[in-house]
Amino acid sequence: MTKTLLQVKNVKKHFPTGKRNLLGKHLQVLKAVDDVSFSIQEGEVFGLVGESGCGKSTLGRCITRIVSPTEGQVIFNDEDITQADSKRLKTLRRQVQMVFQNPHSSLNPRMTIKQTFMEILKVHGLAKGREMERMIDLLEKVGLPKDALDRHPHEFSGGQLQRIAIARALLVEPEFIMADEPVSALDVSVQAQILNLLVQLKEELSLTILFVAHDLSVVEHISDRVGVMYLGQIVEMADVEELYQNTLHPYTKALMAAIPIPNPKAKREELILEGDLPSPINLPIGCRFASRCRDCMAVCTQENPTLKEVKPGHYVACHLYS
């Protein structure tokens, strides 16, 4: 039996925004994450997909406790970390590591890679001898030569820097990694290399990863399960094969249709998503996808569907299936 490493229970992150009233209180609320629940098993990669602005990074920040959720709970290793104090957050910073879209954000431009890595080991009390072996071994794991340690970030290409950022995350032997669009800023050919590296590391080190992307094709090969987000909510969630073979939600279908097909002669149903994501400030009372959904029914503009398990392990929030 695998163990549940992370449980997200009814998490909301609302940002007060807009004009202020006489008491200085904001008059509007931006619901970036609005009642999200799911869990991640040890050794599992959970892909989180959705358009820009749907709340993926905010959800990731709530889970890793960079920010506090407005409501709900985050359970890590059977411990509620929603209200963790600063002492607990410090140890959590080692257990949970992040890889971002821009690798520069986690590397100091004035330090060599070795200096950055040593500093991290010291901060976490892990500089106890054999650091050089550990750093060289990690660089080898991510496909870089050991002399990379003596160089500065500007001496590397984007793909190489992302390899270093991955090594940096692995340095402290984390239990959980949040990768927020780690390949989005890279050239397509380099994207595939970094994805392959992550797949290989996942197998080798049984990593547990929350992998955020805005494109379904990116998460397909690395994820065990995938959650699709739309305007702050998960609208479909299933094992990766099930989701790709038996897509249910009209929004997921539109995202599927947007995946480029290698063979230009191959036919696929034309399903274009029109318009941008509506504002998370003025949310409709009905289904949040209704304004862009070609299957919209009367009930869809009246009631927001809840996420229901329609097949073992396959969840969807859509009136077509209720």
Query: Would you tell me which residues interact with ligand ATP (CB under 6 A)?
Result: 15, 17, 30, 32, 50, 52-58, 214, 280
**Least Cβ distance, residue 281 to ligand ATP (angstroms):** 8
d(CA 260, CA 267): 11
Contacting residue, 57, 162, 223, 252, with Mg ion by CB under 5 A: 57
Amino acid in position 77:
N
Amino acid in position 158:
G
**Least Cβ distance, residue 258 to Mg ion (angstroms):** 18
- Closer to ligand ATP at the Cβ: 25 or 87? 25
What does the CA dihedral 75, 79, 82, 85 come to, rounded to 10 degrees? -150
- Residues binding Mg ion: what is the number (CB under 5 A)? 1
Residue 106 binding result from ligand ATP, Mg ion, none, given CB thresholds of 5 to 8 Å by partner type? none
**Least Cβ distance, residue 209 to ligand ATP (angstroms):** 16
**Least Cβ distance, residue 212 to Mg ion (angstroms):** 7
**Least Cβ distance, residue 274 to Mg ion (angstroms):** 22
Q: Binding marks (x or -) toward Mg ion, 75..104, rule CB under 5 A?
A: ------------------------------
- Closer to ligand ATP at the Cβ: 54 or 194? 54
Residue-wise DSSP of 257-292:
HTSPPSSTTS-----PPPSPPPPSSS--SS-TTGGG
- Closer to Mg ion at the Cβ: 214 or 288? 214
**Least Cβ distance, residue 197 to ligand ATP (angstroms):** 22
Residue 58 binding result from Mg ion, ligand ATP, none, given CB thresholds of 5 to 8 Å by partner type? ligand ATP
208 binds Mg ion (CB under 5 A): no
Residue 55 binding result from Mg ion, ligand ATP, none, given CB thresholds of 5 to 8 Å by partner type? ligand ATP
Whole-angstrom CA distances from 278 to 121, 282, 286 are: 44, 8, 13
Locate 277 and state its tokens.
């994501």
Locate 134 and state its tokens.
């550990």
- According to DSSP, residue 206 is labeled T
Total residue count of the chain as it appears in this document: 322
Strands 176-180 and 96-99, bridge-based pairing:
parallel
- Closer to ligand ATP at the Cβ: 42 or 71? 71
Locate 242 and state its tokens.
């099930």
Q: Is the dihedral of CA 221, 171, 146, 129 positive or negative?
A: negative
- Closer to Mg ion at the Cβ: 57 or 160? 57
Residue 160 binding result from ligand ATP, Mg ion, none, given CB thresholds of 5 to 8 Å by partner type? none
Q: Which residue has the tokens 């392959």?
A: 196
Q: Which residue has the tokens 């805005």?
A: 214
Please, are residues 159 and 148 in contact by the beta-carbon 8 Å criterion?
A: no
Name the one range near Mg ion by CB under 5 A: 49-57, 126-134, 257-265, 299-307. 49-57
- Closer to ligand ATP at the Cβ: 102 or 112? 102
Buried b (16+ CB within 10 A) or exposed e, 129-158: eebeebbbebbebbbbeeebbeeebeebeb
**Least Cβ distance, residue 192 to Mg ion (angstroms):** 21
**Least Cβ distance, residue 105 to ligand ATP (angstroms):** 13
Instruction: Give the footprint of Mg ion on this chain (CB under 5 A).
Output: 57
